[in-house]
């Protein structure tokens, strides 16, 4: 009944597609183009109350309240000083769960592998994931592997999903920053992005900068047990850096923010690399640092807890939440001026995580 | 303190890496090479009791017992008769959750987008996902988007993670096939793989073959409510087809299986395409078909439930679980002979889902 006619005729030449009608690298930046892509293409289609909360993950009601977070990791190169894509894939997703105030419990991992990937490279990545899973005590409970032809990926991409349980007593969220709150950062900023950039571009520094990739949950647990609900917002400033994280918080909470430049813990090598390359450290990705917006009465104690913890030794108080100019983040510069720390329109450093 | 020395010297020429030390396309087949990759590279590193159960997803204990399943979708081309990658990404993961016996509740979705992807293509994929999400009633509760340079992906890849709740009274599993059980399939086999292959290779048929992509949960719910625990195993035979699914069940349960060739519901166009292309329909992927291994006493009723359901009109009884030759699947051919239906060593059709 069925016959085949061999090769069908090719389709007619399609009309050319304008650049603005195509995906650009800037759509992956975590900045304005990313937000626009999400707002105009994704959210109108998938809108539901849980997704529209737009946190780092999803709170899904159940007999026990769960947090779910998912991220794809596409960092280039796969390995860099201080870690590899496997560390990021475990720590990054666990951190998103922890920033929601949840206790991370389970991870899943899905791999897109490029034909020709060296198995020794794969094994180093898997070792990193297994080591991070063991160190954090969070098992990878299910997974998937797919293989695509050589030239259809870049070594490998990893997507991890984290599940955590959320208590009723600890619900930090990006919309909870209140006027008068103090803004803290748990450690030096810019290390991850500069470490990746340096190895990618073959730059060498006198002092090597290493990625800060780490699971931040233990630090969150300390803050929670001591200060509980006085911790209003937690955020790990990854893609898009401190600037993007703070802008999102200012907008979600409808508050202004004022940072002081001299208080920002920017390591000398990061500052030097940024100065040379024309980059702003506030936009550089971090993978083991958190921003906390804390009630003023708890700020000193929160800072002390951070500084007494292995993950927060370099913690600093960097600014305050203010009523003036809601949605804007401003930086008081060392020379007495002030500038607006805006969202980037596109991508400063693509494929950083 | 820090200086940069411009471009570092390149690394020394590395020793060549043998082909067997690299990822091959066959590693993505769902056959022997896939199993070997999983066994030698992934499981030794991540081994934990939940992962080692190696179902389609993970059962994670909690106040309410959850099932979690994750899959990356890399089908080429992105669109094919009967659906697109977005349908697969929703249905495929929901089906994995449903095959575990759970009620699907939530989905997450992570996207790796290639620079230059046409936004109209992205929108059709997102529309498919949104439509499938609405039709199944399962919300996409969180997500992520990353962008990689042109030439570092193939349009887009999607990773979805599904979460479902599992009751104590319904626990089908690949290790529960028992001697005497009847093997049923819910509909015609081979449609998805042939539909993708035809459009990929520009083949035309008199009767177009469309992908069977569908969410199978409603059919599972009917079987569960009528027959409960008499349903021993449920499996959706996707990548690797019926042959791979049945081999996995036979091995996990330590039983033999005997199929009868004339009972297999293979549509005429699928059979014709397979004959012409030298493919075996038992290895062709399906995206809207389930295999059920059912207690003999419940088999007739299970078949009737399937045939009375929109998702199971083409259901058939295809074989029986036997004690003889545990771990082997055998097929009684129309001409009175018998052949072993083995796992494929590598990939018959890469990037089919």
Rounded CA separation A35/A39 (Å): 6
Distances (CA, A) of A148 to A151, B46, B192: 8, 23, 19
CA nearest to B351 within chain A: A148
Token pair of A236 as six digits: 């790990």
Whether A15 maps to a domain, the answer reads no
Rounded CA separation A285/B192 (Å): 42
Q: Encode pLDDT of A172-185 as tens digits.
A: 999 999 999 999 99
Rounded CA separation A211/A5 (Å): 57
CB-based contact B27 A147, cutoff 8 Å: yes
Mark whether A119 and A226 lie in a shared domain.
Answer: no
Whether B273 maps to a domain, the answer reads yes
List chain B residues with CB under 8 Å of A112: 72, 74, 112, 157, 159
Asked if residue B341 has pLDDT above 90, the reply is yes
Mark whether A293 and A182 lie in a shared domain.
Answer: yes
Taking CA B328 as the corner, what is the angle to CA B327 and CA B331, rounded to the nearest 5 degrees?
A: 150
List chain B residues with CB under 8 Å of A26: 147
Whether A189 maps to a domain, the answer reads yes
Q: Which of A276-285, B32-41, B205-214, B330-339 has the lowest mean pLDDT?
A: B32-41
CATH of the domain at B132: 3.30.1330.10
Mark whether A106 and A152 lie in a shared domain.
Answer: yes
Minimum-distance CB partner of B130 among A27, A46, A350: A46
The number of domains in chain B is 2
Mark whether B161 and B178 lie in a shared domain.
Answer: no
Q: Encode pLDDT of B122-146 as tens digits.
A: 989 998 998 999 999 998 888 888 8
Q: Are A158 and A111 a contacting pair, CB within 8 Å?
A: yes
Last residue of a domain, one of B165, B196, B228: B165
Mark whether B150 and B287 lie in a shared domain.
Answer: no
CB-based contact B60 A141, cutoff 8 Å: yes
pLDDT value, residue B21? 80
Mark whether A124 and A251 lie in a shared domain.
Answer: no
Query: Per the omega criterion (within 30 degrees of 0), is the bond before B77 cis?
Result: yes
Mark whether A108 and A199 lie in a shared domain.
Answer: no
Last residue of a domain, one of A142, A165, A188: A165
Number of other residues whose CB lies within 10 A of the CB of residue B304: 13
Mark whether B213 and B196 lie in a shared domain.
Answer: yes
Q: Which of A187-191, B48-52, B171-175, B324-328 has the lowest mean pLDDT?
A: B48-52
Minimum-distance CB partner of B206 among A2, A147, A159: A2
Kindly calculate the radius of gyration of chain B based on its CA atoms and give it in whole angstroms: 21
Asked if residue A200 has pLDDT above 60, the reply is yes
List chain A residues with CB under 8 Å of B66: 62, 66, 163
Long-range own/partner contacts, residues B322-326 (CB < 8 A, 24 or more apart)? B322/B179, B322/B255, B322/B256, B322/B257, B322/B258, B323/B179, B323/B255, B323/B256, B324/B256, B324/B258, B325/B256, B326/B250, B326/B254, B326/B255, B326/B256
Mark whether B259 and B328 lie in a shared domain.
Answer: yes
Whether B44 maps to a domain, the answer reads no
Token pair of B112 as six digits: 């790796």
Among A267, A261, A263, CA closest to A331: A261
User: Mean of the pLDDT values across residues A90-98?
Assistant: 96
Asked if residue B173 has pLDDT above 80, the reply is yes
Minimum-distance CB partner of B50 among A70, A139, A144: A139
Q: Are B243 and B341 a contacting pair, CB within 8 Å?
A: yes
With residue B203 as reference, give the H or E element that holds it.
strand B203-205
Half-sphere exposure of B190 (CA within 13 A, CB side): 23
Average model confidence (pLDDT) across chain A = 87
pLDDT band for position B82 (cuts 50, 70, 90): very high
Number of other residues whose CB lies within 10 A of the CB of residue B36: 13
Whether A146 maps to a domain, the answer reads yes
Alpha helices in chain B (DSSP H): 32-37, 43-46, 49-52, 85-99, 119-136, 191-201, 217-227, 241-253, 268-277, 299-307
Number of other residues whose CB lies within 10 A of the CB of residue A210: 16
Mark whether B189 and B161 lie in a shared domain.
Answer: no
pLDDT value, residue B13? 59
Mark whether B195 and B336 lie in a shared domain.
Answer: yes
At how many degrees (to 10) do helices A85-99 and A217-227 cross? 20
pLDDT value, residue B60? 55
Whether A40 maps to a domain, the answer reads no
pLDDT value, residue B2? 35
User: Mean of the pLDDT values across residues A330-342?
Assistant: 93
Query: How far is B247 from chain A, CA to nearest CA, in Å?
Result: 19
pLDDT band for position A5 (cuts 50, 70, 90): very low
Query: How far is B7 from chain A, CA to nearest CA, in Å?
Result: 5
CATH of the domain at B286: 3.90.650.10
Minimum-distance CB partner of A8 among B108, B144, B204: B204
Residue found under tokens 């109350």: A49
Rounded CA separation B308/A132 (Å): 50
User: Mean of the pLDDT values across residues A65-84?
Assistant: 94
Last residue of a domain, one of A165, A184, A199: A165
Residue A352 or A36, more confident: A352
pLDDT band for position A333 (cuts 50, 70, 90): very high
Measure CA B242 to chain center.
10
Domain boundaries, position B226? 171-340
Distances (CA, A) of B132 to A159, B109, B222: 22, 13, 20
pLDDT value, residue B346? 67
Distances (CA, A) of A321 to A188, A234, A254, A307: 21, 14, 10, 22
pLDDT value, residue A39? 80
Cβ neighbours of residue B216 under 8 Å, at least 6 residues apart?
B91, B94, B95, B98, B99, B186, B236, B288, B289, B290, B311
Distances (CA, A) of A215 to A94, A97, B117, B324: 7, 10, 34, 51
Asked if residue B63 has pLDDT above 80, the reply is no
Whether A49 maps to a domain, the answer reads no
Residue B27 or B165, more confident: B165
pLDDT value, residue A61? 54
Asked if residue B166 has pLDDT above 60, the reply is yes
Whether B238 maps to a domain, the answer reads yes
Asked if residue A293 has pLDDT above 80, the reply is yes
Rounded CA separation A42/A36 (Å): 9
pLDDT value, residue A201? 82
Q: Are B295 and B351 a contacting pair, CB within 8 Å?
A: no
Task: Report the b/e string of B230-244 with b at 16+ CB within 10 A.
Answer: bbbbbbbbbbbbbbb
CB-based contact B147 A28, cutoff 8 Å: yes
List chain B residues with CB under 8 Å of A51: 139-143
ipTM: 0.88
Rounded CA separation A266/A284 (Å): 11
Alpha helices in B278-331 (DSSP H): 299-307
Mark whether B230 and B307 lie in a shared domain.
Answer: yes
């Amino acid at each position: 009944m069925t016959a085949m006619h061999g090769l069908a005729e090719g389709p007619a030449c399609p009309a050319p597609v304008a650049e603005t009608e195509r995906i650009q690298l800037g759509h992956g930046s975590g900045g304005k183009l990313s937000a626009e892509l999400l707002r105009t293409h994704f959210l109108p289609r998938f809108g539901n109350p849980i997704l529209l909360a737009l946190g780092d993950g999803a709170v899904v009601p159940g007999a026990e309240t769960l947090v779910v977070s998912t991220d794809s990791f596409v960092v280039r190169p796969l390995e860099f000083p201080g870690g590899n894509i496997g560390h990021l894939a475990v720590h990054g997703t666990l951190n998103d769960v922890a920033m929601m105030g949840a206790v991370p419990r389970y991870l899943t991992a899905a791999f897109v592998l490029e034909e020709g990937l060296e198995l020794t490279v794969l094994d180093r990545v898997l070792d990193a994931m297994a080591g991070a899973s063991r160190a954090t005590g969070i098992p990878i409970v299910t997974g998937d592997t797919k293989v695509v032809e050589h030239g259809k990926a870049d070594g490998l991409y990893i997507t991890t999903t984290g599940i955590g349980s959320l208590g009723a007593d600890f619900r930090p969220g990006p919309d909870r920053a209140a006027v008068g709150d103090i803004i803290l950062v748990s450690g030096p900023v810019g290390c991850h992005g500069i470490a990746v950039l340096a190895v990618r571009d073959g730059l060498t520094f006198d002092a090597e900068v290493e990625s800060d990739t780490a699971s931040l949950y233990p630090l969150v647990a300390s803050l929670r047990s001591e200060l509980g609900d006085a911790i209003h917002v937690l955020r790990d400033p990854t893609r898009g850096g401190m600037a993007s994280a703070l802008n999102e918080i200012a907008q979600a909470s409808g508050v202004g923010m004022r940072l002081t430049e001299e208080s920002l813990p920017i390591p000398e090598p990061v500052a030097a690399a940024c100065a040379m390359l024309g980059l702003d450290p506030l936009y550089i990705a971090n993978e083991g640092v958190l921003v906390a917006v804390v009630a003023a009465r708890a700020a000193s104690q929160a800072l002390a807890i951070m500084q007494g913890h292995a993950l927060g030794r370099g913690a600093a108080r960097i600014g305050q939440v203010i009523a003036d100019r809601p949605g804007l983040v401003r930086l008081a510069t060392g020379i007495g001026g002030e500038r607006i720390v805006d969202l980037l329109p596109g991508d400063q450093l693509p494929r950083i995580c």
